[in-house]
Structure 1
């Protein structure tokens, strides 16, 4: 199990996609930290009369106003990179717990498929015996038909289980990014344990300070706050300062200073300010909503787990009773005290109950994994995810 989880963290396409997004954010942080380039201008005039020399004008200028909002842009880029780093951690949390869930699901389905396959083979032999007995008129047609129907139902159940196992194998292969058709031999994992309620309470008390997706939203809000500040600073007039050196057609050289100021009469960066402000408010509301959704989801899953656990205990009790009945009836069938159709009927009920119990256990596992992911602990050992 540990090998599969480690492999998933190394090979998952979702993690690689998040890593590429982090690389892009890091590159943008580098780009936003670069200083603007100066501007070099040059022009020349050719006189059309004798006795004059070609004139020229050269200038070097720099946008000084670009330095005003540069610190805010750098801080925003750093927060954007931090946001993507936290998003990557969140994806890793989800992949690790999902790999564990798929591992346990695959093992349980393989085990259940093997048990059902053995029972189907056993019933096939019994059905063939009944068909021969029917040919000798030793049993009624109804008894033989009932056994055949029971056998066909179990064959159908086995086919359904194989389809579910195949889907689970494909999901695990997709998560591990292994070639289609590959088969993994999985060792039996530890039995899943119930998530302690006190652990859930403790985890919820500081959820906003631990869960990477919530921390990523906070970093995104801080980023947007800096971009809003940069937009406010950018409303001041654009200022370019430069020096010039020139010569006119009379061969007189001149030097000078140029100052260029943009008059903020019609634009004044007001549109960008409104956009950045609205985006910041949207992120603030999204963070609050995400936090509320996390508490609501944890509460809903906890309630669902309580109901599923009660159903599982009831199903396990019923299965245990059926197992005892099947054992007794098989002994009675061996001594000739009950007929084969009676035994086949109870075995079908036993099989259906076993499948129902296994599916309930798998549903509980999926809910436990979701709960562990939401509160930031490992679904394997319930330790804080790192």
Structure 2
């Protein structure tokens, strides 16, 4: 009957090769941002690890909720002389003192499970917004790369024209060298962008748990817009009650507080109470009660009390610092966004000015009022300004996504994450 209640062993072999889930990139239909975020939440390695940690916490809660088993003892003595019978002693005892700190351990295990639930929620928040950021970054880098490719083609045309003009003696060698250097710079810029694009694509592929070298087709995302100030203010007001990482730290502190309480209850002497039934070699039966008490003379659980108390103080300081860091981080990002938005407005104004100047220069060039190097220089500056504007827009988007993660709202529609 005892063996029937035991858990049996079942082997689980490790795979010899990676096992990939179904490949969503097999279709030619471009993936939308909602599909990418949903896929990330279902297959992200970080989410899966957090879910396994939750399973472990649930198992530990079950283990901490179990009471210790009773102890059954039996001994016998065989007499060496005639006229005597074999003696035996049987006893059944239980550690009564384990019932004292059991409620505290149960409350601590419940808090530990709650902490892991909040940790899973925080991981999902981060993965959702990170998937959105990688999605938009991938599309944005494609746009910037297209602008730089256009610039490189333009600079190559300018370089060829300057070489021909130098051969005719229409321009100086310095002008020709500058055009060649500009062309080389545009090629270098294009190489850097291709590396950044490859890195973002690989990171998105890993987040979606897709095989390496998977080619993703992404649809054009909706244009991002700034996080409303009232959303930031409302989120900061209730930040400590709604952000999962802070709630996880609060649950962790509650868990440690119960562990400290259990350590204090562990000061009481260990008490085992049991009943005995025995027979001596003279065939006389006896019954009794056995009581075992541990004398707290040298240990008294003082070491565990010191460890649990110090750990509780450490968690208290960690929570207070994390709370301060959360408010400081939000304020810093808001300040960065204000600066980036101002720079973006100036960049767009400069782009519009250069666009008008370039159009006027083309008309003047047709009349012969503007030289070719001047027109080429204006066109190069316009293309460079478009690239700078696109990079500022990407930087502002990255800060907006980080801000949304910190205050707990969706980077897509700024609604509260659940």
TM-score, normalising length from structure 1? Answer: 0.94
**Among residues 71, 75, 90, which one is paired with 1:58 in the alignment?**
90
**What secondary structure sits across from 1:68 in the alignment?**
helix
**Among residues 144, 159, 162, which one is paired with 1:127 in the alignment?**
159
Task: Say whether 1:172 aligns with 2:204.
Answer: yes
Matched-pair contact (CA < 8 Å) for 1:53–1:250: yes
After the TM superposition, which residues 241-280 of structure 1 pair with which residues of structure 2 at under 5 Å, given as runs?
Answer: 241-280=273-312
Match of 2:408 in 1: 376
Task: Say whether 1:302 aligns with 2:334.
Answer: yes
Task: Say whether 1:220 aligns with 2:252.
Answer: yes
Deviations 1:331-384 (A, max 9, x none): 444555434322332233223222222221111111111111111111111111
Match of 2:313 in 1: 281
**Among residues 366, 377, 380, which one is paired with 1:348 in the alignment?**
380
Unpaired runs of at least 5, structure 2: 1-32
Match of 1:107 in 2: 139
> What CA distance in whole angstroms lies between the structure 2 residues aligned with 1:71 and 1:268?
20
Shift of 1:299: 1.3
After the TM superposition, which residues 23-34 of structure 1 pair with which residues of structure 2 at under 5 Å, given as runs?
Answer: 23-34=55-66
**What secondary structure sits across from 1:94 in the alignment?**
helix
Matched-pair contact (CA < 8 Å) for 2:154–2:380: no
Task: Say whether 1:157 aligns with 2:181.
Answer: no
Shift of 1:123: 3.5
Match of 1:38 in 2: 70
Matched-pair contact (CA < 8 Å) for 1:44–1:55: yes
Matched-pair contact (CA < 8 Å) for 2:240–2:246: yes
Deviations 1:12-38 (A, max 9, x none): 111111111111111100000111111
Task: Say whether 1:238 aligns with 2:270.
Answer: yes
Shift of 1:324: 2.2
Shift of 1:71: 1.1
Unpaired runs of at least 5, structure 1: none
Deviations 1:182-230 (A, max 9, x none): 2211111111111111211111111111111111111111111211121
Match of 1:317 in 2: 349
> What CA distance in whole angstroms lies between the structure 2 residues aligned with 1:67 and 1:380?
51
**What secondary structure sits across from 1:166 in the alignment?**
helix
Matched-pair contact (CA < 8 Å) for 1:144–1:341: no
Q: Could you tell which deviates more after superposition, 153-162 or 103-112?
A: 153-162
Shift of 1:136: 5.4
Shift of 1:274: 2.0
How many residue pairs were aligned?
Answer: 386
> What CA distance in whole angstroms lies between the structure 1 residues aligned with 2:188 and 2:355?
21
Deviations 1:144-172 (A, max 9, x none): 43332222221122112111211211221
Match of 2:22 in 1: none
